[in-house]
């Protein structure tokens, strides 16, 4: 009788401790250039640098946008796993 209760308690403890070790946050980066590809690359690099500055690991790009003003302006949003 006591073994199933212990197994359930240990599995719940493992789930709680695993979720407390890492969190997923969103970071954004911005770039501008006369070339749209360079602006987007700069925005992605900016977002990755912001993630690394938080001791995190970039996971994937969620959204990006490039628009034309006097220069090309780009934004990139990434999910980032931080401890």
pLDDT of the residue at 54 = 92
The pLDDT value recorded for residue 4 is 58
Please give the pLDDT value at position 69: 86
Q: For the chain, how are helix, strand and coil distributed in percent, rounded to 5?
A: 45, 40, 15
Q: Collapsing DSSP states into helix, strand and coil, what is residue 1?
A: coil
- A 10 A CB-CB count for 53 gives 10
Q: Which pLDDT score is estimated for 3?
A: 55
**Which CATH architecture fits 22-82?**
Roll (3.10)
Cα 83–25–13 angle (5° rounding)?
Answer: 50
For the chain, what are the domain ranges?
A: 22-82
pLDDT of residue 37: 95
What pLDDT shows up at residue 10? 54
CA trace torsion 51, 60, 82, 37 (10° rounding): 0
Per-10-residue mean pLDDT, the chain, length 83: 54 52 90 96 95 92 93 95 91
């Amino acid at each position: 009788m006591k073994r199933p209760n212990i197994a359930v308690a240990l599995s719940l403890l493992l789930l709680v401790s695993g979720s407390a070790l890492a969190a997923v946050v969103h970071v954004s980066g911005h770039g501008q250039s006369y070339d749209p590809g360079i602006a987007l690359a700069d925005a992605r690099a900016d977002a990755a640098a912001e993630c690394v500055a938080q001791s995190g690991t970039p996971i994937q790009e969620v959204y990006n946008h490039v628009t034309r003003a006097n220069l090309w302006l780009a934004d990139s949003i990434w999910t980032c796993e931080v401890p």
